[in-house]
């Protein structure tokens, strides 16, 4: 039976470490790190996620601000606010919660964020630096996965790693990071996606499988080899007859995979808490390196 890669436990440890750093900052009579979140519209999942980030900020001692816009906001209004935050000496990092309404060009918004305040790690400059193995902000979910593998000392050097899903937020950056010259890294990486034929031919040979599809229970036990490490990024609401009316499912069929894997992340409690913790980590990095923090 697989051992659990406990993201909830590790995220708490990371936030506790950050809190100690913030206490030292405040003891030195300096201001606390400041994270701003911009929320457009009333998407339930986005609201819940942003509220959880505000709660995380309170937990570690950051100052946090939430800026809300209606779903009818114009692109120019949003860009004006981003420019204001870019110039503010009181703001270390900020995020624009995705997705955005149709009238707004998402790429234009991402490009408008000052890369030095891009704690989501989505700006092309930061993505390019990541690909070149330069110091930069890493996207929070891949950063969380790397940290989880590191904290549990999961061997990645020379291992065959299969990534399922090629999104700009998880799959693509994850494939770059697992192949980098570092730990975790130095893996032989295969990036699979919706056009990959016979995907199980790849997953059955993999020492590490990282799946970010949003397809409940996609990865079955007969698709992995004995002793594989399984990281499940997917999280989907699946309707059922429970009092809640749904349950949260990952991309991995947990029971069948856990019977064969050496390590596995649960859903919930695996990658999700790590994503949130690494946003806090990126914010304190931004605070420490900010040209405005004099």
Catalytic-residue membership of 117: no
Using DSSP, state whether 191 is helix, strand or coil.
strand
Using DSSP, state whether 164 is helix, strand or coil.
strand
Using DSSP, state whether 113 is helix, strand or coil.
coil
Per residue in 237-252, pLDDT tens? 899 999 989 999 999 9
Domains of the chain from N-terminus onward: 27-114 (3.40.50.10860), 140-272 (3.40.50.720)
Residue 293: is its pLDDT beyond 70?
A: no
> pLDDT grade, residue 292 (50/70/90)?
low
Distance CA 184, CA 258 (A): 22
What does pTM read for this prediction?
Answer: 0.95
State mean pLDDT over 217-230. 98
Nearest to 290 by CA among 92, 62, 72, 71: 92
> pLDDT grade, residue 46 (50/70/90)?
confident
Out of 120, 207, 232, 251, pick the active-site residue.
120
Nearest to 235 by CA among 213, 210, 209, 207: 213
166 assigned to a ligand binding site: yes
Per residue in 48-70, pLDDT tens? 889 999 999 999 999 999 999 99
Catalytic-residue membership of 97: yes
Catalytic-residue membership of 120: yes
Distance CA 27, CA 198 (A): 57
**Phi, psi at residue 58, to the nearest 5°?**
-60, -40
Out of 97, 207, 253, 260, pick the active-site residue.
97
> pLDDT grade, residue 290 (50/70/90)?
confident
> pLDDT grade, residue 23 (50/70/90)?
very high
Quote the pLDDT of residue 133. 97
State mean pLDDT over 5-20. 98
Mean confidence (pLDDT) of the chain = 96
State mean pLDDT over 269-273. 96
243 by Cβ neighbours in 10 Å (0-12 / 13-18 / 19+) ranks as exposed
Out of 6, 15, 53, 207, pick the active-site residue.
53
Torsion angle, alpha carbons of 121, 122, 124, 126, to 10: 0
């Amino acid at each position: 039976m697989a051992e659990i890669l406990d993201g909830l436990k590790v995220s708490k440890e990371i936030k506790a470490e950050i809190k100690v750093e913030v206490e030292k900052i405040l003891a030195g009579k300096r201001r606390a790190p400041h994270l701003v979140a911009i929320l457009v519209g009333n998407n339930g999942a986005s609201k819940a996620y942003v509220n959880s980030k505000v709660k995380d900020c309170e937990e570690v001692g950051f100052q946090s601000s939430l800026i809300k816009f209606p779903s009818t906001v114009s692109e120019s209004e949003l860009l004006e606010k981003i420019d204001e935050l870019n110039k503010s000496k009181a703001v270390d990092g900020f995020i624009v919660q995705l997705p955005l309404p149709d009238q707004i060009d998402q790429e234009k918004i991402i490009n408008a964020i000052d890369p030095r305040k891009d704690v989501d790690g989505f700006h092309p400059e930061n993505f390019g630096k990541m690909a070149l193995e330069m110091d930069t902000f890493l996207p929070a979910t891949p950063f969380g996965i790397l940290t989880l593998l590191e904290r549990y000392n999961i061997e990645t050097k020379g291992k065959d790693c299969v990534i399922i899903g090629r999104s700009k937020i998880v799959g693509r950056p994850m494939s770059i990071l697992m192949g980098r010259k570092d730990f975790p890294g130095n893996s032989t990486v295969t990036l699979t996606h919706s056009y990959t034929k016979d995907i199980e031919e790849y997953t059955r040979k993999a020492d590490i499988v990282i799946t970010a599809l949003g397809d409940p229970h996609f990865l079955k036990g007969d698709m992995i080899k004995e002793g594989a490490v399984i990281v499940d990024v997917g999280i989907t609401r699946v309707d059922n007859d429970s009092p809640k009316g749904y349950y949260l499912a990952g991309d991995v069929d947990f029971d069948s995979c856990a019977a064969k894997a050496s390590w596995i992340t649960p859903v919930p409690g695996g990658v999700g808490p790590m994503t949130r913790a690494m946003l806090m980590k990126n914010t304190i990095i931004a605070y420490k390196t900010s040209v405005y923090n004099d």
